[in-house]
Structure 1
Amino acid sequence: MGKRMILLAVSFLLFLSVQNKALAEKKEERNWKDENIYFLMIDRFNNGDKSNDFEADPSDPSAYQGGDFKGIMEKLDYLKTLGVTAIWMTPVVKNEPKGYHGYWTEDFYKTEEHFGTKDELKQLVKEAHDRHIKIILDLVVNHTGYHHPWLQDPSKKNWFHPYMEITNWDDQQNVENGWLAGLPDLNTENPETRKYLLDAAQYWIKETDIDGYRLDTVKHVPKDFWKEFSQKVHETKKDFYLIGEVWHNDPRYIAEYNKAGIQSFVDYPLYNEMVRTFRESGQSLSELQAVWERNKYYYKDPYTLGNFIDNHDNIRFVREALLKQEDPEKRLKLALTYLYTAPGIPILYQGTEHMMDGAQDPDNRRMMDFNQNKKIETFTAKLANLRQKHIALRRGEQQMIIDDGPKAVFKRKYKNETIYIVYNNDKKKHMIKFSGQDLKKHKLVNLLQDEEIKAKDNKVSVEMKGETAQVYILKENKMNLSLYAEIGIGLIFVSLLFLFFKRKKKK
């Protein structure tokens, strides 16, 4: 009877242990809201092939600098360590002279010779995929370069809108048909032009197996084009990601393109608030939550929006802090913490992880310096990898539970995981106190440094140095069922060994 009871107990405890482990290991299907995107300018990232450096001039910030596909391949392991799971690259297509940035298309079906061959691009995509990194290409369908051959082709006269400057940004027709910065505006209402552009978009997916497009100048192209575009690319590759650039401050305006089939956007309204909030100490964080509340209302899936604090079209965040006479390292750490812990997909612009400075274009597009600031690189990697490890930081609802001037506490919760992010955006040290029923019999474990804070009843007090942020995960004080089961199994195993040897000794 005793042996039977012991065997039953062992079986039951093993069952509990296996079930608990199975539940812990069960992962939800990964999708785009789980990615960490790194945005790089091909010409300004890394020079891996000196043979394509013709016309490169490091002394001229508006000329080619030498970056290429091979250079990116050389740095894939660097990006992997940085916590990057997707790379957005500036356009790869052949550009007219001086088009180092890729936005002056000369040929929609060839790669830019300064960057490398189509085969090298395919190899880059494959090597990225081998490291579980996705590739997003920048795509321009609104315009061509200033001197495109079609402009001299009489048969292509209807492929462009007649020359017209954009003078009224509130007039949608003027925005869509006008020549942005004098660039020839493609007539996507023309069936021939439309088919050509749609075919080219499908071509690069089929040829290279890329995973997404970042769509340039979305608001300058009619919505009915985007509907057909979305349909075509998703026919080509089902889980293809579209993230559009709709440079506008009103989410209602941007969300209209959501209805046109573009699933995500670089979030300019959030960018504006993040820069304003974190470039200068003493600012309230309440507007950041307000943006999130609006995003939930207007967008189909706000968790797929792209969050950023730097890009190639605006002055660098570090410069913003310097203009306010602030400590750029402290300010950048605060901004990066929000970037990686807020709802939405973080987009890190090359060099931000090294605290790169830069004024207006082209100064904000300096050649990447991989050794400039290893300290911030390590900090960025820690945040990025925390986001990958904790699903609440990728999919959790966000609540603002403390909104007290420069002091703030955000709560992210997804199923059984709860994370608190505590901010002191003031120069002075503060004790930040908050409460909640879920804190009872729990502790907060700091994910950025070695620290634990036990709740008293349902309250905690966090001492915060000036201009700092901390990320805490909620943990039970008591041992969980799995640990009990494992201890129980161990004790029973020891008991059985003891009985076995005792019986053997008697024999």
Structure 2
Amino acid sequence: MGKKIIILGLSFLLFLSVQNKALAEKKEERSWKDETIYFIMVDRFQNGDKKNDFEVDTSDPAAYHGGDFKGITEKLDYLEKLGVTAIWMTPVVKNKERGYHGYWTEDFYETEEHFGTKEDLKQLVKEADDRDIKVILDLVVNHTGYKHSWQNDPEKKDWFHPQEEISNWDNQQNVENGWLAGLPDLNTENPETRNYLLDMAEYWIKETDIDGYRLDTVKHVPKDFWIEFSKRVKEAKSDFYLIGEVWHNDPRYIAEYNKAGIHSFVDYPLFNEMVRIFKQSGQSLSELHSVWERNKYYYEDPYTLGNFIDNHDNIRFVREVLLKQEDPEKRLKLALTYLYTAPGIPILYQGTEHMMDGAKDPDNRRMMDFSQNKKMETFTAKLGDLRQKHPALRRGDFSMIKDDGAKAVFKRTYRDETIYIVYNNDKKDAEITFKDKDLSGHKFVDLINEEEAKVKGGKIELQVKGETAHVFLLQEESSNPYLYAAIAAGGILVILLLVFLFKK
């Protein structure tokens, strides 16, 4: 009996040790580079509360369409199944008339009544947190709406820069002080104005417990403001995330704002290359790797950059493809595969997973259609699932091991996991063959199609259909993908058997 008790105790302690280690590793590893962000235009996502539908006109692309906080809350399960781990919402503060998009602030401390109350917003954040989904709010500190009441307040005449349009985009002072598209430009050099905006940013963190800000029009605000801003928000919440919009094609220019305390940026240089390469067949993928090499050099942590192929300011990717008279389904699958497997945080703009079309603003801001393309939704969810299951797709190094015209192979390795992403960006089927030092004694498991390919003589030969991409996990030839599950199940059975013997 004594031996039985000892064996049972040791088995139980071993089981607890393994479980605790796994939990500790999981907790330690989770960071912003592991997230997948879904970008929501609040007014155009889901109408969950008809009571706030005044002045709604779905036939007018520049009017409110009825989306709100309750609508987003209703769709959190949908987002979770899509593999989303964070949502970024367009500005939620009270806007001037027809400011459905949120960028024409009228009151920095109130929610837009078309979207719901602060309590609705807090409920959304809480229910998202219950699903381990982080919430990022879009924040504008560069300007107000066109007819903000401060402009008529004598005591706030110094809160704005003199009215002057931006005329020289190469002149940084003009970029920072000029009125963007005629919007009143806030004078953040004024201590009163600055303190108001800093207090406001801290207020929303403490009031709603959000997890991050997407910072609008970053380059139009002086860097010394961002230094103070980043310090304040981190004091309010230590792990608070800042991702900035610096709309520029030069990573050297963008990376300067890293030094001002902004962790991350939406990667416009990569966006430009992804759209150019994937909207039309036959393009080389080599420039995608070049962008990554530059990012590694210039940014503090390039793995936290936000990658995207669609947003609310540019025409939809699907429209770009249609203008080239290409197949939107094939082209979008290629682009999404790169979005989810390349270094950086994928940002999925609402509707991309349903292959939504759209021209210039406001046509690229159509009301979300959840039934448009279930096949593409399923494909996107699969990519989201793969990214969460395989750390190499979130944290792995990145190299291009084959660059042959429109055919390319990228490799990502993290610890003991290696993944190859294979692209045939041409219309014709092709054999893609390559060697790599890690191939011998291994096989390829296609994570999307669940097929296998064997390595022969230290090289792999793949028959790849035109306009397709494949994500391959490198696996030892003798390994069994269900081995660890079987071991775990066996361990549980042993413990149950010991318990049975102990009772006897």
- Give the letter for the 2:317 counterpart: F
What is the deviation of 1:456?
A: 1.2
| Structure 1 residues 359 and 30: alpha-carbon distance in aligned structure 2, compared to 1, 3 A threshold | same
Does the Cα contact within 8 Å between 1:440 and 1:457 map onto a contact in 2? yes
RMSD: 2.6
Question: For 1:348 and 1:486, how far apart are their aligned partners in 2?
Answer: 37
Question: For 1:133 and 1:145, how far apart are their aligned partners in 2?
Answer: 31
Paired residue for 1:353? Answer: 353
Gaps of 5+ in 1: 501-507
Paired residue for 2:123? Answer: 123
Paired residue for 1:424? Answer: 424
Question: For 1:29 and 1:207, how far apart are their aligned partners in 2?
Answer: 28
> Which stretch has the larger CA shift, 97-106 or 478-487?
478-487
Secondary structure of the structure 2 residue equivalent to 1:439: coil
Paired residue for 1:384? Answer: 384
Secondary structure of the structure 2 residue equivalent to 1:444: strand
Secondary structure of the structure 1 residue equivalent to 2:213: strand
Paired residue for 2:321? Answer: 321
What is the deviation of 1:477?
A: 1.4
Paired residue for 1:199? Answer: 199
Paired residue for 2:231? Answer: 231
Residue correspondence of structure 1 range 372-411 to structure 2 within 5 A: 372-411=372-411
Paired residue for 2:244? Answer: 244
Paired residue for 1:57? Answer: 57
Q: Structure 2 length normalisation: TM-score? A: 0.93
Bigger Rg, structure 1 or 2: 1
Question: For 1:340 and 1:17, how far apart are their aligned partners in 2?
Answer: 35
Question: For 1:473 and 1:256, how far apart are their aligned partners in 2?
Answer: 37
Question: For 2:22 and 2:436, how far apart are their aligned partners in 1?
Answer: 25
Question: For 1:17 and 1:435, how far apart are their aligned partners in 2?
Answer: 41
Paired residue for 2:461? Answer: 461
Question: For 1:293 and 1:212, how far apart are their aligned partners in 2?
Answer: 27
Q: Structure 1 length normalisation: TM-score? A: 0.92
| Structure 1 residues 54 and 13: alpha-carbon distance in aligned structure 2, compared to 1, 3 A threshold | closer
The answer to whether the aligner puts 1:440 opposite 2:440 as a matched pair is: yes
Does the Cα contact within 8 Å between 1:441 and 1:457 map onto a contact in 2? no
> Which stretch has the larger CA shift, 90-99 or 17-26?
17-26
Paired residue for 1:267? Answer: 267
Does the Cα contact within 8 Å between 1:95 and 1:107 map onto a contact in 2? yes
What is the deviation of 1:17?
A: 9.4
| Structure 1 residues 337 and 49: alpha-carbon distance in aligned structure 2, compared to 1, 3 A threshold | same
Question: For 2:485 and 2:323, how far apart are their aligned partners in 1?
Answer: 56
Question: For 2:441 and 2:435, how far apart are their aligned partners in 1?
Answer: 12
Question: For 1:342 and 1:187, how far apart are their aligned partners in 2?
Answer: 39
- Give the letter for the 2:205 counterpart: I
Does the Cα contact within 8 Å between 1:142 and 1:186 map onto a contact in 2? yes
Secondary structure of the structure 1 residue equivalent to 2:331: helix
Secondary structure of the structure 2 residue equivalent to 1:438: coil
Question: For 1:483 and 1:58, how far apart are their aligned partners in 2?
Answer: 53
Does the Cα contact within 8 Å between 1:54 and 1:114 map onto a contact in 2? yes
What is the deviation of 1:21?
A: 8.0
Paired residue for 1:111? Answer: 111
Paired residue for 2:208? Answer: 208
| Structure 1 residues 64 and 113: alpha-carbon distance in aligned structure 2, compared to 1, 3 A threshold | same
Residue correspondence of structure 1 range 307-346 to structure 2 within 5 A: 307-346=307-346
- Give the letter for the 2:452 counterpart: E
Secondary structure of the structure 2 residue equivalent to 1:109: strand
Question: For 2:364 and 2:458, how far apart are their aligned partners in 1?
Answer: 47
What is the deviation of 1:29?
A: 2.5
Deviations 1:203-256 (A, max 9, x none): 000000000000000000000000000000000000000000000000000000
Question: For 2:338 and 2:361, how far apart are their aligned partners in 1?
Answer: 25
Paired residue for 1:363? Answer: 363
Question: For 1:280 and 1:87, how far apart are their aligned partners in 2?
Answer: 30
> Which stretch has the larger CA shift, 10-19 or 310-319?
10-19
Amino-acid identity (%):
75
- Give the letter for the 1:312 counterpart: H
- Give the letter for the 1:359 counterpart: A
What is the deviation of 1:20?
A: 7.9
Question: For 1:453 and 1:44, how far apart are their aligned partners in 2?
Answer: 44
Does the Cα contact within 8 Å between 1:442 and 1:475 map onto a contact in 2? yes
Secondary structure of the structure 1 residue equivalent to 2:256: helix
Secondary structure of the structure 2 residue equivalent to 1:224: helix
The answer to whether the aligner puts 1:477 opposite 2:491 as a matched pair is: no
